[in-house]
Structure 1
Amino acid sequence: AHGHCTPIYSATWSVQCRFDLLLDGNTQMLMPGEQCTTRMTLVKKMPIVEGQSFTIREDRRTVATGIITKALKPLLVDRRKLNNLVIPEAKKQKKQ
């Protein structure tokens, strides 16, 4: 669930991406038809806007789709070490 790398496709670009699933409680994986929030770390800077859709494909099959809900600040990452990277927790937004 954490650190899985695969290409994502959006608009006119595709790029290798690491996924860190933000699962509830004791959940270890997703089953077909389930949904979750994930933190994505892209290998390259790409134009991203909130509300933009993306697709995850493996073996020429679409395995997931999603919508970008928030863009975080960029991280400088050696892409050869992307699988082992420890992603800092995003600070929780205070409700007003």
Structure 2
Amino acid sequence: FDERGRLWVAELIVYPNEGVAREPQPLSRIRVLEDRDRDGTFESATIFAEKLRVPNSVLPYRGGAIVCDAPEIVYFEDRDADGKSDRRTVLYSGFDL
């Protein structure tokens, strides 16, 4: 959850199939679920980042999210505050799959 109470979810589309990291076109994504009226049910689900390989962790951080998407750790930033990532910065690379 982030400071606004939104739930960030890593959707692994092809997992646990073999060859996840070698998929020709990565299909996984990060979604942000929001309960706008605070009744315990999410009213919106926004795709924040897509075309990911194997996003196995997501940490909301400074208007974006740090995602472990092996073989990289990436910071996805929402610079224009539209709820979707518009900048991708690799923080670390080198996990061997």
Q: TM-score range, shorter-chain basis?
A: 0.3 to 0.5
Larger RCO, structure (CA 8 Å, separation 6 or more): 1
Higher strand share: 2
With structure 2 as the length reference, what TM-score do the two structures score?
0.32
